[in-house]
Structure 1
Amino acid sequence: MSRPRSISDRETWIRTVSFLLLGSICYALPWSVFAALPTAADNGSVLRIQGSNTIGAKLGPALVKGLLEEQGLSAVHIETGAVENEQRVLGNTADGRSVSIAIAAHGSGTGFTSLADGSAELAAASRPIKDSEAASLQALGDLKSAAAEQIIALDGLAIILHPGNPISALNTLQLAQIFAGEITDWAQLAAPAGAIHVYARDDKSGTYDTFKELVLSANGKTLSATAKRFESSEKLSDAVSQDRNGIGFIGLPYIRQAKAVAIAAGDSQPMLPTLTLIATEDYPLSRRLFLYNPPQSTNPWARALVQFAQSPRGQAIVEQNGFIAQTVQAVTIPVQANMPADYQDLAKHAQRLSVNFRFQEGSATIDNKARRDLDRVMAYLHEQDKLKGKVVLVGFGDAKADPARAELLSKLRAMAVRRELNKSGVSFRDIIGMGDELPVAANNADEGRIKNRRVEVWVY
């Protein structure tokens, strides 16, 4: 496909690339077919979404509103439901019929429960589906497949304090000890004395599941029984911002009036939850946000919403709502003294793309997000005329007893990405294996090792 010359050609080209990316995921439905989406005969909801409060509070309704507007519906608006954390998005068709989509945001786990009992057609989750959940939903198809598991946005768990707290950085072990009730006074962290008050999301929350996996379980801890629990992200954040001794965790858009601190994991440098570090998933508490659409689903609105969320307009809505879009951008990386010489040279003369390729657990196969990122990277390289000799792939891995083996494995990962991009006509300037250099997570747990096994893309 040749590179577009004019603005109108570029828009057509971007839509074509988006279709190529999404066609196999969304049953090859062309964009225009959405105009024929059905309305409910009994004026009920044409789609019911259940799950994550992180998604359902703002992002989910905003994406649904965008879809209805894309369909040409009029008077599109959001109504608060009779139950807390439930909303409806409504609009009118040209012939006066009403369309309603219901969104309930009671926690990621409730999304999968609702798929099982038939009370929802689409599950929203702020953490991956668990093996036990996927097994219980086998009758609906493979929920871990690329057709079912849709990564719609990236987010980072921000660790928040009162704005007056002087602490600027913590590591994940300290976090685990604080939230387990083992560190109980700020004086133990060289801050002004005061009993630490712990705030956490409730057990149904995907935000809590993510924190539990990345922080508590990874360090052999459990949440203190004295933690104050919240279903609402906004209420938790506001409570911490008003408590000088408070500490909590929250999704990136919900920092509000609180203060976020930098986080370190293992040997990594402390990192703030910045856009770039979350986009690359290097920030230790970064996470993916999902919509799960069962492969055997026949609901056209569910398929339409998934496709819209992945589209350029859908990703713009993701960004407008404070989450991190999956749009590929080139970023200048400052040179730091701890960087290996080859990496310093890259930082001086090239730019890093805001995407990392990661792999399925225990496999050299790229994961579901990476499959779609291949197309996003290809679209960027086409647009920027960087297909020939302008790309460097840099592989990283977790620590091995033999450093030479770690370097070899990291280069093999980079070569796996090279093979995929080469199929679309990309030629490379260099392929580099960095071994276990520059870790972004601890290597003493599976989650950390998976984050460290990554491939970066640099362009000249």
Structure 2
Amino acid sequence: MTSRVFGRFWNRALPLLLVTLGSASGNSLAAPPTPPDGSAVLRVHGSNTVGAKLAPMLVAGLFEAKGLQSVRIAPAGKENEQRITALDERGRTVQALVAAHGTGTGFAGLKDGTADLAAASRPIKQSEAQSLAALGDMRSAGSEQVIAIDGLAVIVHPDNPVQSLSVEQVAHLFAGQIANWRELGGADVAVELHARDDQSGTYDTFKELVLNSQGQALATSAVRYESNDALSQAVSRRSGAIGFVGLASVGKSKALAITDGDSQPMPPSQALVATEDYPLSRRLFLYADPQKQSAWTREFLSFVHSPEGQAIVEKSGYVAQAIAPIRLPLQTTMPEVYQQLAKEAQRLTVNFRFAEGSAQLDNKAQRDVQRLIDYLNSHDKQMNAAVLVGFGDARNDPARTALLSKLRAMAVRRELARGGILVKEINGLGDQLPVASNSEAGRIKNRRVEVWVY
């Protein structure tokens, strides 16, 4: 499914979704009080991927939704820091600060009290969660907020003839083991490596999904960047360059299709990123103190999940957590039940994911249940229209994998039933149709429940 085709579905579905999406809207009548000392009402530290564009736009959107006037986003005097200002009804300045110096700095800000929210382009690490244990459970639904989906695009110069690479090839490239593009069917041009810096969640994700999965390390010759956009601009100007950026920062560079394990080559299209099937897709997060949150922090998180907030996510270039239908091409290699669905039904751009060996929905899935209920209600598909297809990751016990895949579909059916939705049927296809390799990160993607509608 190309981005252009998906866009048609998206444009058709979005207006209705903006009315029906099921999170509470942050657009209540009154704004929380303005601090008398003029201090920032929101301090967001962390990921450059989140903080360069998305977080300032979301803060500005909240200010506007609260009726504040003269909303403005401007540099804060330091590189990769922005200040969002507005005027309340008494003409007093309301301000927020977004400091985008890398995911790790956000968790450090939560720990020392200089941040209200940590922006992250990867899940919190075990070591980080332990260091913040005094605040509470940082992996709880009250702390961990999935705000958008991003695709980690592998980019090259627009004239590079190479169209797709495997995760393994990308790892060998960035490890410096492939020195010339002719080794991959390209031109006789030396490979130049461009990578994000060590503080970046983008780099952490790339390292986890690409380098670590192949037992590789980044070559010391790589040029490092604090900014996605600066990296993309450099790659677009140099014929042998290759880099990686967030989906919204591809710019004038060319994004390659990526394969992982037995998956088909997948471009970083909105449809494939929305379902998280694309091998290098990832979630973007905000983490908050799970127990002590200011009124402004609570209002902001509510707004981010609201239809208005998710519309800003879409406008910023990332993939919103809205639901739209897509058609999948029929392939003879598909299982028979899946071929039937591809012929007669449409897949929705939502996947439910689970922990290893578990049928318990993760934090994102819990919110997606309500989004799906609202979508099915708004399209008059409450009764016998939806089909759930569960999948598992390849293990030594295929029978257990098949059982777990069906149990996961049953778990989603149970949650939908609580919202008045009667599912037409459920299927458990075990480890068939993998969308990723059998690495740890790949298994997470393969443990999923897809939703189809007639």
TM-score calculated relative to the size of structure 2: 0.94
Match of 1:114 in 2: 109
Give, in whole Å, the separation in 2 of the partners of 1:405 and 1:74. Answer: 58
Equivalent runs, 1:104-253 vs 2, <5 Å? 104-253=99-248
Match of 2:7 in 1: none
Kindly provide the amino acid, as one letter, of the partner of residue 387 in structure 2.
V
Equivalent runs, 1:327-338 vs 2, <5 Å? 327-338=322-333
Give, in whole Å, the separation in 2 of the partners of 1:424 and 1:13. Answer: 18
Kindly provide the amino acid, as one letter, of the partner of residue 39 in structure 2.
G
Give, in whole Å, the separation in 1 of the partners of 2:339 and 2:78. Answer: 54
Q: Deviations over 1:44-64 (max 9, x none)?
A: 211211001011111111000
Q: 1:454 aligns with which of 415, 436, 448?
A: 448
Give, in whole Å, the separation in 2 of the partners of 1:37 and 1:75. Answer: 17
Match of 1:18 in 2: 23
Q: Deviations over 1:158-209 (max 9, x none)?
A: 0000000000000000011111111111111111112110100000000000
Give, in whole Å, the separation in 1 of the partners of 2:396 and 2:38. Answer: 63
Give, in whole Å, the separation in 2 of the partners of 1:349 and 1:13. Answer: 28
Give, in whole Å, the separation in 2 of the partners of 1:128 and 1:405. Answer: 28
Q: Deviations over 1:83-133 (max 9, x none)?
A: 100000000011111100001000001000111111111110011111110
Match of 1:296 in 2: 291
Query: Does residue 231 of structure 2 align to residue 273 of structure 1?
Result: no
Q: 1:260 aligns with which of 235, 246, 255?
A: 255
Q: Taking structure 1 as reference, are residues 240 and 12 closer, same or farther at Cα in structure 2, changes over 3 Å only?
A: closer
Query: Does residue 347 of structure 2 align to residue 342 of structure 1?
Result: no
Equivalent runs, 1:80-119 vs 2, <5 Å? 80-119=75-114
Identical-pair percentage: 56
Deviation at 1:81, TM superposition (A): 1.5
Give, in whole Å, the separation in 2 of the partners of 1:265 and 1:416. Answer: 28
Give, in whole Å, the separation in 2 of the partners of 1:78 and 1:401. Answer: 54
Contact 1:121 1:297 in 2 (8 A): no
Q: 1:368 aligns with which of 332, 341, 363?
A: 363
Give, in whole Å, the separation in 1 of the partners of 2:103 and 2:371. Answer: 27
Give, in whole Å, the separation in 2 of the partners of 1:387 and 1:108. Answer: 40
Match of 2:5 in 1: none
Q: Deviations over 1:321-348 (max 9, x none)?
A: 1000001111111212321221111011
Kindly report the root-mean-square deviation, in angstroms, between the aligned alpha carbons of the 2 structures. 1.6
Give, in whole Å, the separation in 1 of the partners of 2:357 and 2:432. Answer: 20
Equivalent runs, 1:7-46 vs 2, <5 Å? 14=20, 17-19=22-24, 32=28, 35-46=30-41
Q: 1:394 aligns with which of 383, 389, 392?
A: 389
Contact 1:77 1:90 in 2 (8 A): yes
Q: Secondary structure at the match of 1:410?
A: helix
Deviation at 1:13, TM superposition (A): 7.5
Give, in whole Å, the separation in 1 of the partners of 2:450 and 2:258. Answer: 21
Kindly provide the amino acid, as one letter, of the partner of residue 447 in structure 2.
R
Contact 1:151 1:288 in 2 (8 A): yes
Contact 1:293 1:303 in 2 (8 A): no
Q: Secondary structure at the match of 1:119?
A: coil
Deviation at 1:401, TM superposition (A): 3.5
Q: 1:439 aligns with which of 434, 438, 441?
A: 434
Q: Secondary structure at the match of 1:45?
A: coil
Give, in whole Å, the separation in 2 of the partners of 1:137 and 1:334. Answer: 46
TM-score calculated relative to the size of structure 1: 0.93
Kindly provide the amino acid, as one letter, of the partner of residue 20 in structure 2.
I
Give, in whole Å, the separation in 1 of the partners of 2:62 and 2:301. Answer: 10
Deviation at 1:361, TM superposition (A): 3.9
Deviation at 1:12, TM superposition (A): 11
Give, in whole Å, the separation in 1 of the partners of 2:432 and 2:63. Answer: 47
Deviation at 1:447, TM superposition (A): 1.0
Q: Secondary structure at the match of 1:41?
A: coil
Q: List alignment gaps of at least 5 residues for structure 2.
A: 1-15
Kindly provide the amino acid, as one letter, of the partner of residue 368 in structure 1.
N
Q: Secondary structure at the match of 1:369?
A: helix
Give, in whole Å, the separation in 2 of the partners of 1:322 and 1:12. Answer: 17
Equivalent runs, 1:45-84 vs 2, <5 Å? 45-84=40-79
Give, in whole Å, the separation in 2 of the partners of 1:35 and 1:217. Answer: 48
Q: Taking structure 1 as reference, are residues 13 and 77 closer, same or farther at Cα in structure 2, changes over 3 Å only?
A: closer
Contact 1:176 1:219 in 2 (8 A): yes
